[in-house]
Amino acid sequence: MASHPMAHAATLTALPNGDLLCAFYAGTYETATDQAIFLARAHKRREDWWEWTPPRKLIDTPDKADGNPVLFTAPDGTVWLFFVNLQGQGWTSALLFAMRSTDGGDTWDEPQLLSAELCTMPKTKPLVLQDGAWLLPLYDERRFQPLFWRSEDGGRTWRARRLFARLRLIQPAVVELSSGRLLAYCRSTNGCILRLTSDDGGRHWSEPELTPLPNPNSAVDLVRLDDGALVLAFNDSRYCRSPLSVAFSPDETERWMVIRDLEVGEGEFSYPCLLATPDGFVHCVYTYRRQTIRHTVFDRTWLRGG
């Protein structure tokens, strides 16, 4: 968009009717005061083709940057949008807000402040756990620590848990395994993805572990398919936000047997968001060279190397 040439940090959710919603932030540059959140809708025209509406500006706080949108469709069909509004010049001045839509994203209620603590930020999608609780992964960019909020009343109230660790890690991407154990992969400054687990629904977490998968201090995303397979989107590099790759594990053992590239070459391809849909496909939206957002769709055959 000519008026907002920088686009970043896309998020994706599926609506009850099968349509997709994608939100992202765009502005003159990252954290610019004209940075706003945009929303687009996609309808499936054919099995291999989705038609997107032009993005419309959803949130634009005067003289303040809005960013890091995260979409979530609750079990009752209500769509939530978590996001931050910057009170100053950088992300450390961010305040966390949420707003809701009961008509599939056509209209929204007024944003509500969720936390008055600066730099409580979203990036990855919430989960509805087997026990019915909601888990909202968050992070603190000042301390470079992950946060986990848990709600047992459908998002009306939240209890926070901060992970104090000797390693620097943020933006946890969480899945729930068949056993009920939670598995989180995190962005880090250690040159590789860090791994956490929780055996009590996100109330307590293990110490971070190094994985063999590289990370150039950039966001990752993780999703579990209905047959137990795991899909990971990440930058397969210790130093660059290129290539943008997808790893596949056929089960919950995290045996990453196939790694395929979505984007290669010069430039930034980053901040993937994964969504598994009931028709067996996996969707990924991501930042393309900080200029636009791209959407790609693949199936298990592609994930297995076909």
Pick the closest to residue 118 from 96, 138, 147 (CA basis). Answer: 96
- Inside any domain, residue 179: no
CA triple 101-294-224, angle to 5 deg: 70
pLDDT tens per residue across span 195-246:
999 999 999 999 999 999 999 999 999 999 999 999 999 999 999 999 999 9
Q: How far apart are CA 88 and CA 142, in angstroms?
A: 14
Q: How far apart are CA 227 and CA 224, in angstroms?
A: 8
Sequence-distant (≥ 6) Cβ neighbours of residue 50 within 8 angstroms: 20, 42, 43, 44, 295, 297
Q: What is the mean pLDDT of the chain?
A: 97
The structure's pTM equals 0.97
- Inside any domain, residue 245: no
pLDDT at 55: 97
- Report, as ranges of residue numbers, the positions in the chain whose pLDDT lies below 70: 47-48
pLDDT tens per residue across span 252-263:
999 999 999 999
**Domain limits at 64?**
1-118
pLDDT at 2: 80
pLDDT at 129: 98
pLDDT at 1: 79
Sequence-distant (≥ 6) Cβ neighbours of residue 211 within 8 angstroms: 185, 192, 193, 194, 195, 254
- Inside any domain, residue 153: no
- Inside any domain, residue 76: yes
Is residue 297 within 8 A of residue 282, CB to CB? The reply is yes
- Inside any domain, residue 58: yes
Q: How many domains does the chain have?
A: 1
Which residue is it, tokens 């849909």?
277
Residue 15 CA to chain centroid, in angstroms? 17
Q: What is the CATH number of the domain that holds 74?
A: 2.120.10.10
Pick the closest to residue 202 from 162, 256, 243, 238 (CA basis). Answer: 162
- Inside any domain, residue 77: yes
- Alpha carbons within 13 A on the beta-carbon side of 172: 33
Q: Which amino acid is residue 92, in one-letter code?
A: T
Percent with pLDDT over 90 in the chain: 95
pLDDT at 105: 98
pLDDT at 46: 76
Is residue 13 within 8 A of residue 37, CB to CB? The reply is no
- Inside any domain, residue 34: yes
- Inside any domain, residue 265: no
Is residue 134 within 8 A of residue 127, CB to CB? The reply is yes
